[in-house]
Amino acid sequence: MSTFITEIEDETLILIPQTSISSLARGDVGTELAAVLEQIQQQHVRHVVIDLGKVDYFGSLMLAMMHALYKSVCVNGGTVVLCNVSEVGREVLRASRFDTLWAVRPSRSDALQWVEQGMRG
Amino acid sequence: MANVLVVDDSAVDRCLVGEYLQEDANLQVDYAVNGREALARLEQEPVDLILTDLMMPEIDGLELVGTVRREYPLVPVILMTSQGNEDIAVQALHAGAASYVSKHMLHRKLLETVHRVLSVGSRRRCHSRLMECMTDSHFAFTLENDCALFTPLIIYLQETVSQMGICNDGERTRIGVALEEALANALYHGNLEIDSQLRDDDQAYYALVEDRMGKAPYRGRHLTIEVSLSREKAVFVIRDQGRGFDPTTLPDPTDPANLEKASGRGILLMRMFMDEVAYNSVGNAVTLVKYVNGNAPPPQPTTGSAPQ
């Protein structure tokens, strides 16, 4: 079973982790991330929305993965927006200060709207 | 006497199920017409077992299983399925249902299934009560560099801490995050001696992990996890057999200049979610302390004369 499901909406890739990703996870998750990064390059994705609705918590590995996604889109002026973040997930983002780098929106539709407005702005 | 709540929107099926159950005089049967009513009943009176239909208006059987699992973890749920719903029954078992029984087999299987599930539920409740009476526990694990054992270990530690009443559900998750980070550090940076700065290249990082997993001296190293639990606190000591490190040399990951560096995030999260985090002088053992309800003792006054 894949850890990540992806959907494309216009220039935005929606990444939906199917479960919490442990910082003890091994290379399989890294291989899946590499495939997502390749998809971003090949399909000219500009923004990434990460829907964390199925993720109870995450730690340093997931932060590193989200940062890799951010780096891959920000070179082209894109951004990463997170949505449906759990309470513990929000604490992790605050502690690591990644909440200063990425927008956090309550729902997927809010996140997509935020991206769309940002693109128009 | 065990209280069984039958949840079904069909009056005919409720009656049928009730008749089968009342063959056992030790079962007190009550009824709800949908998941919402069942949850309201659970708030009002103790229930030992829920027997629910799958397809119902408002809250269906699958959703009811998930909610009961979260909010009333000691109340088992049996799903009653119609023919052709076997896949959903499997989903329900994954979501935490104790068992399922086909509606067309109720006459043969219902009481047998109810008795089996009640028996397990009773043992779980007794075990839960017993664990609440535990005042101290000390134990230790010695593990090889085998990630497959780490997640079960963390789940075991979370459950034990939770059962002793040291933490609530939210704190249990936070303790899990901190333990994961500590174990990941001990394995990857401790026993396998992999520099966290390599993290930027995932493929190279994991290739080195695989290489060192099979190579001496890394292969033969172990992790020890010592745990001391009491009514006041949980103490976890995680020790690796690597060369250690000086934690003061790590960049501050919250400094905007270091935001993009991978180093130090794990320790940051450990400090965030535990009340105390301390490394030994070598840097190959970390002690994590969590106080009950965050009630850390006040700092001890310094004794002796102040340094000049």
Structural contact between residues B240 and B226, judged by C-beta atoms closer than 8 angstroms: no
Q: Is the pLDDT at B307 greater than 70, yes or no? A: no
Percent of chain B with pLDDT over 70: 96
Residue B57 is predicted with a pLDDT of: 81
Q: Which residue has the higher pLDDT, B58 or B156?
A: B156
ipTM comes to 0.86
- Provide the pLDDT confidence category of residue B279 given band limits of 50, 70 and 90: very high
Q: Is the pLDDT at B284 greater than 50, yes or no? A: yes
Q: What is the mean pLDDT of residues B178-204?
A: 88
Residue A40 is predicted with a pLDDT of: 92
Q: What is the mean pLDDT of residues A2-26?
A: 87
The tokens describing A16, both together, are 């939906």
Q: Is the pLDDT at B227 greater than 70, yes or no? A: yes
Least Cα separation, residue A11 to chain B (angstroms) = 25
Residue B304 is predicted with a pLDDT of: 46
Of chain A residues 23-82, which have a CB less than 8 A from chain B?
A: 23-24, 26-27, 30, 33-34, 56-61, 63-64, 67-68, 71
Residue B207 is predicted with a pLDDT of: 87
Structural contact between residues B33 and B12, judged by C-beta atoms closer than 8 angstroms: no
The tokens describing B38, both together, are 């069942």
Please judge whether B202 and A34 are an interchain contact, meaning their C-beta atoms are less than 8 angstroms apart. Answer: yes
Q: Is the pLDDT at B268 greater than 60, yes or no? A: yes
Least Cα separation, residue B70 to chain A (angstroms) = 13
Nearest one of B229, B214, B277 to B250, comparing CA atoms: B277
Q: What is the mean pLDDT of residues B154-169?
A: 89
Is A4-120 assigned to CATH 3.40.50.300? Answer: no
Of B90-104, B195-209, B227-241, which range is least confident? B195-209
**Rounded to 5, what percent of chain A is helix, strand, coil?**
45, 20, 30
Q: Which residues of B touch A24 (CB under 8 A)?
A: 147, 150-151, 180, 183-184, 187
Beta carbons within 8 Å of B12's beta carbon, 6+ residues apart: none
pLDDT tens digits, residue range A46-69? 999 999 999 988 999 899 899 999
CA angle centred on A93, ends B283 and B245, rounded to 5°:
10
Q: Which residues pair with B291 in a beta bridge?
A: B233
Question: Across chain B, where does the E strand assignment appear?
Answer: 2-7, 27-32, 49-53, 77-81, 99-102, 136-143, 223-230, 233-239, 276-279, 285-291
Q: Is the pTM of this model over 0.80?
A: no
3-class SS letters over B194-208: CCHHHHHCHHHHHHH
Query: The sheet that has B49-53: what strands, in order across it?
Result: B27-32, B2-7, B49-53, B77-81, B99-102
Residue of chain A whose alpha carbon sits nearest to that of B203: A30
Please judge whether B209 and A88 are an interchain contact, meaning their C-beta atoms are less than 8 angstroms apart. Answer: no
Distance CA B97, CA B76 (A): 7
Of A46-50, B112-116, B177-181, B202-206, which range is least confident? B202-206
Enter the DSSP assignment of B185: I
Nearest CB neighbour to A24, from listed B150, B205, B262: B150
Provide the residue ranges of all domains of chain A, joining segments of one domain with +.
4-120
pLDDT tens digits, residue range A62-115? 998 999 999 999 988 999 999 999 999 999 999 888 998 999 999 999 999 999
CB atoms inside a 10 Å sphere around CB A37: 18
**C-alpha separations of A43 from A2, A11, A66, A75, B285 in Å:** 20, 8, 19, 15, 46
Please judge whether A64 and B199 are an interchain contact, meaning their C-beta atoms are less than 8 angstroms apart. Answer: yes
Residue of chain A whose alpha carbon sits nearest to that of B171: A88
The mean predicted confidence, pLDDT, of chain B is 88
Half-sphere exposure of B22 (CA within 13 A, CB side): 10
**C-alpha separations of B70 from B39, B66, B95 in Å:** 12, 6, 10
Q: What is the mean pLDDT of residues B143-168?
A: 90
pLDDT tens digits, residue range B82-141? 877 777 878 888 888 999 998 888 888 999 999 999 999 888 888 888 888 889 999 999
Q: What is the mean pLDDT of residues B170-193?
A: 93
Tokens 């966290």 found at: B196
Which of B143-152, B257-266, B289-298 holds the top average pLDDT? B143-152
pLDDT tens digits, residue range B20-68? 999 999 999 999 999 999 999 999 999 999 999 988 887 888 889 989 9
CB atoms inside a 10 Å sphere around CB B97: 25
Backbone angles phi, psi at B289, to 5 degrees: -125, 135
B210 three-state secondary structure? helix
**C-alpha separations of A2 from A28, A38, A77 in Å:** 9, 16, 29
Angle between helices B147-163 and B106-132 in degrees, nearest 10 = 80
Structural domains of chain B in order of their starting residue, each with its CATH number: 2-131 (3.40.50.2300), 136-294 (3.30.565.10)
